[in-house]
Amino acid sequence: MIVCDKLTRTYGSLTAVDRVSFTIGRGEIVGLLGHNGAGKTTIMKMMTGYLEPTDGKVTIDGLDVTVDRQQAQAKIGYLPENGPLYHDMTVYDFLNYTADLRGVSRNNRNRVLREAMKKTDILPKAAQTIQTLSRGYRQRVGVTQALLHRPPILILDEPTNGLDPSQVQHMRTLIRELARESTVVLSTHILQEVDAVCSRVLIVANGRLVLDKNLSDLQSGGRLLVGIDKSPAEALSVIESFEGVLSVEPQGHPGDEHLYALTVKEGGTHHWAPRIARTLMEKGISVYSIAPERRDLETVFREANDQPQEVLHA
């Protein structure tokens, strides 16, 4: 649905985005994650046709954004980082004006506006001027203008920037609801944002894409954490002899349980876990727990930024 191919943007001697390539399929919720200044906003501006790439290209449903800009943009709803709202207009008037720009038919204009405002929960604010709204409601107005024409793609740049905790939670819920009908791409420098709403993450560092993975795969450490009733002196040599186990590392002894981290062969932890559990029990070893190791997103983000030269894919 969205294809970015060697996307590059330079400003004189500064390379803001450096040969970034990725593909996003229909129905995905993708987080574009990176430090401030990493290149996220520049990538989004090129994806939406608001900024031409120095090199490379973006296609939306097969449409080259540079060549077929208006047709491609018709498929996109875009919330810039600092939403372009006219603060002296009422919410309704602003959205009605946006509907004109989006080519929404006047025959069912009121119905479309009402449905969009109801979806983002700003219908009670329709008659208020935008300048009287809280930051959270202004963000909701920005999201509403992006979805008025029911686009198949929503691109949201820092949608929770500056919101208080309650407003952040409301915005996350809204994004998940919008994702039922649209592909959603959101940029953020907040790790919890990706963890809360995304199924896939792209990490950008110094203008380069350094990681592209599904979130569930990303947080797997690639090892099995096993809790048994045997000490290292009794268990290490036994576990190391199991099929599929490459190495074993003791992880401590909380209570009656001895913990071990097992690095396993190709096939993944889900493939080897039941086999190893069965073998342990056949050896007369009690298994208290067995599960894939989980890494928090902060660890993954730090590792990705420490190694920007290599792109890690799912």
Instruction: For residues 255 and 252, give the distance between their C-alpha atoms in angstroms, rounded to a whole number.
Output: 10
Residue 309 pLDDT exceeds 90: no
What's the whole-number average pLDDT of the chain?
Answer: 90
pLDDT at 62: 92
pLDDT at 271: 87
Instruction: For residues 226 and 133, give the distance between their C-alpha atoms in angstroms, rounded to a whole number.
Output: 53
Question: Which of 76, 79, 75 is closest to 140 using CA atoms?
Answer: 79
Residues 119, 171, 74: CA angle, nearest 5 degrees = 60
Establish if 302 belongs to a structural domain.
no
Q: DSSP secondary-structure letter at 53?
A: -
Ranking 3-12, 98-107, 297-306 by mean pLDDT, the lowest is 297-306
Same domain, yes or no: 48 and 165: yes
- Summarize pLDDT for 247-286 with one digit per residue, the tens: 999 999 888 899 999 998 877 788 899 999 999 999 999 9
Same domain, yes or no: 45 and 192: yes
Q: Residue 109 phi/psi, 5° resolution? A: -60, -50
pLDDT at 221: 64
Instruction: For residues 186 and 199, give the distance between their C-alpha atoms in angstroms, rounded to a whole number.
Output: 11
Contact 244, 276 (CB under 8 A): yes
Provide the 3-class DSSP secondary structure of residue 270.
helix
Residues in the chain: 314
Residue 299 pLDDT exceeds 80: no
Instruction: For residues 16 and 1, give the distance between their C-alpha atoms in angstroms, rounded to a whole number.
Output: 24
Contact 33, 202 (CB under 8 A): yes
Establish if 89 belongs to a structural domain.
yes
Our count of domains for the chain comes to 2
- Summarize pLDDT for 121-136 with one digit per residue, the tens: 899 999 999 999 998 8
Instruction: For residues 285 and 235, give the distance between their C-alpha atoms in angstroms, rounded to a whole number.
Output: 9
Establish if 29 belongs to a structural domain.
yes
* Percentage, residues of the chain above pLDDT 70: 96
167, 218, 253 from 221: Cα distances, Å: 33, 8, 21
For residues 33-62, give the mean pLDDT: 94
Contact 306, 231 (CB under 8 A): no
Same domain, yes or no: 18 and 125: yes
1, 310, 314 from 211: Cα distances, Å: 20, 8, 9
Establish if 208 belongs to a structural domain.
yes
Establish if 147 belongs to a structural domain.
yes
Same domain, yes or no: 213 and 121: yes
pLDDT at 308: 47
Residue 57 pLDDT exceeds 90: yes
Establish if 310 belongs to a structural domain.
no
- Summarize pLDDT for 188-247 with one digit per residue, the tens: 888 888 888 999 999 999 999 998 988 877 766 678 899 999 999 999 999 999 989 999
Token representation of residue 127: 């008659």
Q: Regarding predicted confidence, which is higher, 301 or 77?
A: 77
pTM over 0.85: no
Ranking 16-20, 85-89, 178-182, 236-240 by mean pLDDT, the lowest is 178-182
Domain enclosing residue 92, as ranges:
2-217
- Summarize pLDDT for 159-194 with one digit per residue, the tens: 888 788 888 888 899 889 888 889 999 998 888 888
